[in-house]
Structure 1
Amino acid sequence: MAVTLADVAARARVSAATVSRVLSGNYPVAEATRARVLRAVDELEYVVNGPASALAAATSDLVGVLVNDIADPFFGILAGAAQAELGIGDGRAGEKLAVICNTGGAPERELTYLTLLQRQRAAAVILTGGTVEDAEHTAAVAAKVSRLAASGTRVVLCGRPPIADAVTLAFDHAGGARRLTEHVLALGHRRIGYVAGPAGRTTTTDRLAGHRAALAARGAEGHEGPANERLTVHSSYDRSSGYDAALELLRREPDLTAVVAANDTVALGVCAALRDQGLRIPQDVSVAGFDDLPFSADAVPALTTVRLPLDQTGARAGRLAVGREPQPPGGVATIRADLMVRDSTARPRPGAV
């Protein structure tokens, strides 16, 4: 049953008229009272109703795009490509206003944005990137997506696990990571360090699973059981974390011949750390990344990586959000991740294996 204005008034212990004044913003209300009403609105997930609010009509062309970090090229490319498909500034009918919501990777902020977008009756919501592996948070997001869909908002997931009532464009993180590690193994490397992303996030888990599946299939010596943990370091998805992780891997395994990184930005940090230790890439240590961000081909040496078609996928998410592309069968499409072999990986030097 839909939450009513009276429900909010009862929760906040004020009159319905006071709730209306707070939501309209046109009348003076004591700050303590305003805070109590807004808290009740959040707790009950009340959505301003139909013709009673000019706001609902005014924001029907709003599209929310949720990203973990807009400064990260991964999310910037996805968001930019999605926004370009919303018709901003091209004079077409049906153009939408994109609002970028930067969550900073915080689960509670993600939930808050979804509530705000529901309250604003957004035409669509696009959620990009992975999410935390937490059953309670997953259930909370699923509930909010269900409410958004029930109110007519299209929801598109771009790069995260499927949820009922949403269309999903899922990256094949595990398959791409497996192909990358198979390439490093095929070159002859056996002492391979892995710099994973933050623990407890879906993208990290999927990429690490693909890496370890390749090691297990090849029976890579030194990577069985607990050794997997010894040669794996978790880090944030940034350059400085990659630098620190590489130093830690060298401390654990001084004779390391290859490092596979969680993404290309981390791989740059790994390369910097190796050079500072007097090691050459790839003559002494091969390095590989993931995502194929724009700078990867221009790095020195050019970075072996896994290409995710971020621009095309973001654009597709934008078209799905505004109904300009039919949904994939079953509401889920898996986006292939392709191996890009460049100069940063090579056979280990003689005697190094």
Structure 2
Amino acid sequence: MTNDFRKGADGARHRRATLKDVARRAEVSVPTVSRVIAGDYPVALGTRRRVEKALRELDYVANTHARALRGHGAKTVAFILRDVRGQAFAQFAHGIEEEASRWGRLCLLCVSGGDPVRELRALNLMRQQGAEAVIIIGSIVDDEAYRRQMTEIARSLDQAGSRLVLCGRPPLGEGVPVTIVEYENEAGAHAVTSRLLAAGHRRILLFGGDVAFTTSAQRFAGYRRALTDYGVPYEEDLVVKAAFDRGDAYLRMRERLAAARDFTAVFALTDVIAAGALRALTEAGLQVPGDVSLVGYDDVPPATDLRPLLTTVHVPYEEMGRTAVQLALDHRGSGRFARESHVLLGTHVVFRDSVAPPPAGTARAPR
């Protein structure tokens, strides 16, 4: 009878494949399988293909590397970031590194650049290297293809004794062996937009990001919910896309000001975007917050470097990194995180100097 070592339809885990299992599946000897894996001995092409097919079907390569690293090398925690230069990602990475060190683990870092193909390649590499946990942060397009792909990765890692942790990303669905660490993204956007509305602003420019991606979409949803709560109609022309980049934000704000200055406040989707917007507003001769109020999101530099100091939403990025490691390494243990697979961290508005009531006569009508 042929054994199935992959996930069954019921999600049950099966035992790991051995060299004998691969040899049986490929209908060759164990030494032949070893030669194909080593790649240092000639093997007939047809035989090699049968062995490689069996290795893939039984998920043997990843499990072999995992056993080798766990038995003879340092245990590792891998994490994949969009960009190491961003302050938010840097804080997240710092939290991972410190907590992993506390657990006696080394860290492996990969950068995706926001490219799903690079992210998948990094995931597979970390899986083959036997990382004890693989942690990912960064916005994505939450479509069927993404969920199917990540579900397969999560199950493969789980079978190899590893754990996939998604940070700032939505869950994949019931029964998927994945850990989720989220923060109150939409609630933070709702709170900071409400701060502007409470100050009297009615024409608030939502500036930056792309609502096709999860992080921006959630902040957009919080913005719209706040408008609804205050009885302010949503206006599509008050939404401007910009990359999560200071330079692009500066250029997009210049373009928007050249077209019309029909807003009294700006909700920038990150603090970096707020910095670019502030430069463009200042160059146009506008005072913040005298003429235009400005808020950001993340509470990372440059929030406390700008003048005026930026009102923004604090996101606990370092805590997210620490929590991701704790959950990943403790999910099968008996510690306080052992039974948790989904954690939601809080956000809050940090009130500083960049918000004031709108100039007289401009709260409800374009200027």
- Residue in structure 2 matched with residue 297 of structure 1 by the alignment: 304
- Residue in structure 2 matched with residue 334 of structure 1 by the alignment: 344
Q: Residue by residue, what CA displacement relative to the aligned partner does 1:257-297 show, whole Å, maximum 9, x if unpaired?
A: 11101100011000011111111111111111001004312
Per-residue deviation, 1:42: 10
Distance 2:55 2:266 in 1: 46
- Residue in structure 1 matched with residue 9 of structure 2 by the alignment: none
Q: Residue 190 of structure 1: which of 198, 202, 214 is its match?
A: 202
Q: Residue by residue, what CA displacement relative to the aligned partner does 1:284-339 show, whole Å, maximum 9, x if unpaired?
A: 11111001004312321100100011122212222223228533765212111101
> Does structure 2 retain, via aligned residues, the 8 Å contact 1:46–1:119?
no
Distance 1:107 1:312 in 2: 25
> Does structure 1 retain, via aligned residues, the 8 Å contact 2:22–2:55?
no
The amino acid that maps onto 1:202 is T
- Residue in structure 2 matched with residue 285 of structure 1 by the alignment: 292
Distance 1:241 1:7 in 2: 55
> Does structure 2 retain, via aligned residues, the 8 Å contact 1:193–1:249?
no
Q: 1:268 to 1:118 in 2, by over 3 A?
A: same
Distance 2:33 2:159 in 1: 24
- Residue in structure 2 matched with residue 83 of structure 1 by the alignment: 97
- Residue in structure 2 matched with residue 244 of structure 1 by the alignment: 251
The amino acid that maps onto 1:102 is V
TM-score (norm. length: structure 1)? 0.84
Root-mean-square deviation over aligned CA pairs: 3.4
Structure exhibiting the larger radius of gyration computed from Cα positions: 2
- Residue in structure 1 matched with residue 10 of structure 2 by the alignment: none
Q: Residue by residue, what CA displacement relative to the aligned partner does 1:172-216 show, whole Å, maximum 9, x if unpaired?
A: 110000000000011111111111313421111101100111112
Q: Residue 149 of structure 1: which of 158, 161, 181 is its match?
A: 158
Per-residue deviation, 1:53: 7.2
Q: 1:60 to 1:232 in 2, by over 3 A?
A: same
Per-residue deviation, 1:133: 2.1
- Residue in structure 2 matched with residue 264 of structure 1 by the alignment: 271
- Residue in structure 2 matched with residue 135 of structure 1 by the alignment: 144
The amino acid that maps onto 2:325 is G
Residue 344, structure 1, aligned to residue 344, structure 2: no
Q: Residue by residue, what CA displacement relative to the aligned partner does 1:59-85 show, whole Å, maximum 9, x if unpaired?
A: 561211111111111111111111111
Q: Residue 214 of structure 1: which of 226, 232, 243 is its match?
A: 226
Residue 230, structure 1, aligned to residue 244, structure 2: no
Q: 1:167 to 1:102 in 2, by over 3 A?
A: same
Q: Matched residue of 1:295: which SS?
A: coil
Q: 1:43 to 1:236 in 2, by over 3 A?
A: farther
Distance 1:127 1:170 in 2: 12
Per-residue deviation, 1:6: 10
**Greater mean deviation of Cα atoms: 243-252 or 267-276:** 243-252
Distance 1:271 1:45 in 2: 56
Q: 1:279 to 1:123 in 2, by over 3 A?
A: same
Q: Residue 79 of structure 2: which of 50, 61, 65 is its match?
A: 65
Per-residue deviation, 1:158: 1.9
The amino acid that maps onto 2:284 is Q
Q: Residue by residue, what CA displacement relative to the aligned partner does 1:29-56 show, whole Å, maximum 9, x if unpaired?
A: 89x99xx99x979976944244997456
Q: Residue by residue, what CA displacement relative to the aligned partner does 1:158-183 show, whole Å, maximum 9, x if unpaired?
A: 22112321221111110000000000
Distance 1:348 1:335 in 2: 33
- Identity fraction in percent: 35
- Residue in structure 2 matched with residue 91 of structure 1 by the alignment: none
TM-score (norm. length: structure 2)? 0.81
Q: For 1:96-135, what aligned pairs fall within 5 Å after superposition?
A: 96-135=105-144
> Does structure 2 retain, via aligned residues, the 8 Å contact 1:196–1:208?
no
Q: Matched residue of 1:147: which SS?
A: helix
> Does structure 2 retain, via aligned residues, the 8 Å contact 1:230–1:252?
no
Per-residue deviation, 1:350: 1.6
Q: 1:138 to 1:45 in 2, by over 3 A?
A: farther
Gaps of 5+ in 2: 7-16
Gaps of 5+ in 1: 89-93
- Residue in structure 2 matched with residue 318 of structure 1 by the alignment: 325
